[in-house]
Structures are given as structure tokens and as C-alpha cells.
Amino acid sequence: MKKIFALTVAILMIAVTFRISAQEGDPVLLTVAGDNITKTEFLAVYNKNNVKTDVIDIKSLEDYLKLYINFRLKVKEAEELGLDTLKSFITELAGYRKQLAQPYLTDKEVTENLIKEAYERMKTDIRASHILIKVGEDALPKDTLSAWNKIMTIRKRIAGGEDFKKVAMETSEDPSARDRAEGENRPAIKGNGGDLGYFSVLQMYYPFETGAYNLKKDELSNPIRTPLGYHIIKHTDTRSALGQVQVAHIMIKVKPVMTEEEETAAKAKANEIYSKLVAGEDFVELAKQYSEDRGTSNKGGILPWFGTGRMVPEFDSATYLLKTNGDFSKPVRTLYGYHIIKLMDKKPIPTWDDAKSELKVRIQKDGRSRLSKLAVISRIKKDYKFKESRKTIAALYPLIDSSFFAGKWEAPKVNNLTKKMFNIGKNIYTQNDFAKFIESHQTPNVIGSIEVLVNKQYDAFVEDECVKYENERLEDKYPEFKALMKEYRDGILLFELTDQKVWSKAVKDTSGLKAFYDQNKLKYMWGKRADADIYVCKDAAAAEKVAVLLKELAPASDTLNIPKAIQSKINMDSQLNVKIETGLFQVEDHPALSKFAWQEGVSGPISADNSAVLVFIRGIELPRPKTLEEAKGIITADYQTNLENAWIVALKQKYPVKVNEQVLKDIK
């Protein structure tokens, strides 16, 4: 469904460009539901989105035209049904507008400087230790001063020669600095003495990050304030950034809860595979044969590229230690299992051109983006001739009582709070407006002096109203923003109506789905299948043992327990001796099946992919149609296509569509 929505947005971009690029005097190519689309409009968008050469492909032109007509018909129907007036639609569109407006409410120059700064820091990883004394952002002045005095006393101790780690364990209010005793479902944890390990840009609070990157090795910072409190930072090391790496791995899975016997078996299996690698056996073949990561085993265990922090810490740390392509690690235990990791390739950090887009997105979500917002507010104030009288704030101080600290303060209903506090353009904001803002933005359990808190609320009030004033004028100020909102409006309408008419309907309409299946069941066939056990043995000796056991056990009436019995005996000395797959198989389901004559009983062994394979076939199922449940996914998808095609036919009967064949011929 997400793929369909992506296609919808692409079509919508086409549609908006149609309307923007219209020129008077162009011949009308087509009329859809009363809207005229000209030749110039159509060619501009078609050439932009479909043609990679100077020659127009006639078939793609015709297909494209049909796609656009269908799109316009669906949007027209959504409007006729009033979907654009629904509360859910209005709310969803407002959410998208909020996201789309963000680039217009940030300062491009400040943002660009933040991106450049982040890119420079991205080139190195910093290792640092810290000591934290907690103090809230809204703390009373006396509490802030107390925290400041504490952190300064601590700094003097370290500057005077005391060991940073020792002082951190004694004084830091970051609990990770000290050893923590064993708790429920948690082992004992060794304290880090304030050591944060290596980190990079956009992984810490911006003031902390800036302080750390500006220090020289072994240098001690002055107190740095973050939302957590005051920090003393000691820069302990710098290294080149890891960049991006690609590794392959062989994984032996573990369960969230393991018995000691299961854990021992998994570890032994991983160590046995590692021994084979050390002895010179091929990593790819071992991954294919033994890795239990089904998504990567058939590819030799290769994982997608990743950087520092993208994998669980144990996996990440082991990867960093691999320096040369081809190096592999000892088995590493993670939450998911035991991994043997092989370094395939490394890439340095991306170029500026490649990195800046992603950095921009990350910075917009980071606290440092406030610098850009403040720059925008400053511009708005200048553009709309902002004027204020801060002395008017004092009138609110006596009105704030203890209910404010519980988050229950109410603005006075009758008062003389009529004085102007500030203006933005022609909008005037009074003390009464500010009182209502306080009422709707108060936070329970807030701590601080009334004057400090009210002043902070006033600054937030001014910022909110400046941004709101600019935000309300974006469509008039920026035509491209107006066009973008049109794209999203039509996209939401189309998505909602298609869901009603096609996607959800196909799922909910069980009788219709059943009727469709009954008419088309011969399209969904099982091939010939064997009810079989496939035994993949590590060598001929193991296969011979399996064959002997199969001959002994096969005559039993209950053959379903045979695989478990054989595995327990053959794998007593090694978990790698035999791997067993059980189920209904078509010939293409396993590479070895095409090498056997399909008959009931035991066949093999044969050689396949450095292994010896035997097959025990309990029975043969002849080709038959799949049941509705067995093929429900593909049948539902086909039913959706059927519903959509019927819907398009109905829409074309309801709304007139006219193509000017002469104009289309001229284009061709």
C-alpha cells in the first residue's frame, strides 16, 4: 500500500505542474471531469518525468495519459463525496502542512553553518569522560547557584591533581559512573568512572558536543550547561571516524531465555565454525551451510553497509577492531546470537555533497536547530516591525498563585489587563492575550521563581506568535508552497478513497473475495510436492550414519518424530553433523530435490554443495489448486486489481473524459 501511495504522490506532482504550466492559446489535449489540460502542460510534465531521450515513446505516452486521466477521475469523485470536508482529512492535512512548513520557518544561513560544522565534526570520533551535577532548566536561582558551586569545587579538585575517574565515582550524579549491584533480571554493572566512550556529532546535547570538540586531548572544560545540569568534560582521545563498513557474518541464533545446555550448545557450534575458518575453510560456504540468519546466509552472510552505532554495541565494537578486508572475529555474543564477523570493505565518511542532505534532516530534529529558529524570529520581527513593552509583564506577577505550580492556574475572567505588550504587523497582543497563553501552556510540578517562570513564558509567547504570524502567510508568500500543499491535499483524498473502494474493501469483502477465487482458482496452483525430510550432512561418514538410522526407523508408523531422534544421535559430538528440514516441498524449494527420483522411502545420499544429502519421502501430493487461505495474499492483491479496474470503468461512465485525438496525434 505504501508503494501505491508513493506512486500517487508522483502522479500528483505531475498534476500540479499541469496547472502551473498552462499557457493561454495552447490547444486542449484532454478534458477530465470538466478540467482542461493543454498540450504544453502535458508535454512539459511528460518530458520531465518520462522521457530520457529526445524521442517520445508512443506507448509510454499513451500509458502515461491513461494514468493521469484515472488519477483526475478519482480525485473528482473524492471531492464529490465530500472527503475533503471530513475532520480526519482536515487533521491529517494540517499535520502534513506542519511538516512542509518547517523549511520556510528556519534560517537557511544558520542551518547551512550548522550543517558545515556538523560535517567537520563528523570526520572524527571523540572519547571523553564527564562529571554531572544535575539541575533543571527552570531551577530556582539558589538551586542553580548551588549546582554551580558544587561543579566548580569538583573541577578544582581535578585541576589540583586528583584522579578524574576517582572523583567521578565519588561525586558524579550520572549513575553510570559507579558500580551498580545486581537487580531483578539484570546483572551487576561495572561503573565507567565517567568514561562515555567514543561518540560523534549529533549524539550528545549540542553544548556538550561543542565543549568536547573544542577541547584538546587531556584538557578539562569549564562547567557546561545542558538540560541535565552542569558537566565537567575531560577529552581523553580522538580517532578517525569509522565511516561506513560492510561485513559478512555467520550467526547462530539464541532465544531470549536459554537453558544452560542450550547456551552451551550454541556457543560450541559457533566455536566449531570459527575453528573451521581458522583452518582455512571458505567463509561464504560456511555461511551458506551453517548461518541461521536466513536473510543473509544464501549470500554468504553479507550485511548492508552501516556506520558506528547502527549495530548493537558488541557487534559494533568487534567490527571496529577489524582493520583489513578479510579479517574475521572470534564468536561475539549479542542479544540475537553468536556472530563471527568478517570485514568485507570500508568506506570513508561521505563527501560534503553526499552528506549535507542527511545532516540537514538530523539537525532539524536536534536541539541546535533552535539557533535557526531564533534567527527566523529575529527576521520576522524586523520584517513586520515588531515592537514591545516588556515592563507590561510585571502586571502578571501578582496574579500568579500556587495553582500555577500545580498546572491549574486560570486567567482572570474580569481584569484590567488591556495594555499592549507587543505588535507583529497590524496584530496587537495584550496582557490578557498573554494571560490566556500562560493558562494554556502551564506545566504541573514546575519549580522556580514566579518572575523567572513568567518571563520565560512571555518569551515563548512572543516566539509562538511570530512563527504563527509568518506561518499563516506562507501560501500567499511562496507559490511553490501553495503548489506543494495542493499535491498533498489531492494525495490524501486519493489514498482515502482508494482504500475505501479497493484496498480495505478487498480485505473486508470476504464473499466477494471467495467468488473471485472460485472463478480464478486454476491460476493459483501447487505443483507436485513431496512430504519429506531433507538431511544435509557435513560429510559422507555422517550421511552413512543417517542412512543406517533411517532404515531402522522408517518402518515405524509415526515417522514425524524420526528427524528429532536422528538429530539427537548424529549431533552428539558436533552440532554441525546434520541439518534437517521437514515439510511439503516442490522441486524448486531445495537445490537437492531435482537430483532425486521422487518416490516414497529413503533416497541418497548424493553430493550437493560440499555436503551429503539424503531424502526421506513420506508421500507425494499431486498438483492441485491452492486453497484460498494458502494463497490469500496473492489472491487478495489480484482481487484489488479487479476492483480498481471496475471502479475506473464506473468513474468514466459517471464523469466525461474527452481526448483531442488531433492534438494527441500532433504530439505523437
Arithmetic mean of pLDDT, 551-556: 83
Q: For the segment 566-605, what is each residue's pLDDT rounded down to a tens digit? A: 999 999 989 999 999 999 999 999 888 888 889 999 998 9
**25 or 111, greater pLDDT:** 111
Question: How many other CB atoms are there within 10 angstroms of residue 285's CB atom?
Answer: 14
What pLDDT is stored for residue 498 in this prediction? 94
Range 169-175 contact pairs with CB under 8 angstroms and sequence separation of 24 or more: 169/193, 169/194, 171/131, 171/133, 172/130, 172/131, 172/132, 172/133, 173/132, 173/133, 173/134, 173/229, 174/130, 174/131, 174/132
Arithmetic mean of pLDDT, 29-56: 72
Task: Decide if pLDDT at 8 tops 50.
Answer: no
Task: Decide if pLDDT at 352 tops 90.
Answer: yes
Q: For the segment 178-195, what is each residue's pLDDT rounded down to a tens digit? A: 987 766 666 556 788 998
Task: Decide if pLDDT at 483 tops 80.
Answer: no
- Whether 396 and 411 have beta carbons less than 8 Å apart is answered as no
**307 or 454, greater pLDDT:** 454
- Please give the grid coordinates belonging to residue 213: 570538540
Q: Which domains does the chain have, with CATH numbers?
A: 124-240 (3.10.50.40), 244-347 (3.10.50.40), 384-474 (no CATH), 525-625 (3.10.50.40)
Q: Is the dihedral of CA 102, 107, 109, 112 positive or negative?
A: negative
What pLDDT is stored for residue 240 in this prediction? 86
Arithmetic mean of pLDDT, 408-427: 90
Name the range with the highest mean pLDDT among 33-47, 405-419, 495-509. Answer: 495-509
- Whether 244 and 305 have beta carbons less than 8 Å apart is answered as yes
Place of cell 551451510: 289
- Whether 137 and 227 have beta carbons less than 8 Å apart is answered as yes
E-state strands within 174-286: 195-199, 224-226, 229-240, 244-253
- Please give the grid coordinates belonging to residue 489: 491535499
- CA pair distance 199, 208, nearest whole angstrom: 11
Q: What single-letter amino acid sits at 25?
A: G
What is the pLDDT confidence band of residue 309, given thresholds at 50, 70 and 90? low
What pLDDT is stored for residue 184 in this prediction? 67
Q: For the segment 366-397, what is each residue's pLDDT rounded down to a tens digit? A: 999 889 889 999 999 999 999 999 999 999 99
What is the pLDDT confidence band of residue 9, given thresholds at 50, 70 and 90? very low
- CA pair distance 149, 153, nearest whole angstrom: 6
% of the chain beyond a pLDDT of 70? 93
What pLDDT is stored for residue 12 in this prediction? 43
What is the pLDDT confidence band of residue 10, given thresholds at 50, 70 and 90? very low
Its pTM stands at 0.55
* CA-to-CA separations, 56 to 60, 62, 390, 601, in angstroms, rounded: 8, 11, 65, 62
What is the pLDDT confidence band of residue 292, given thresholds at 50, 70 and 90? very high
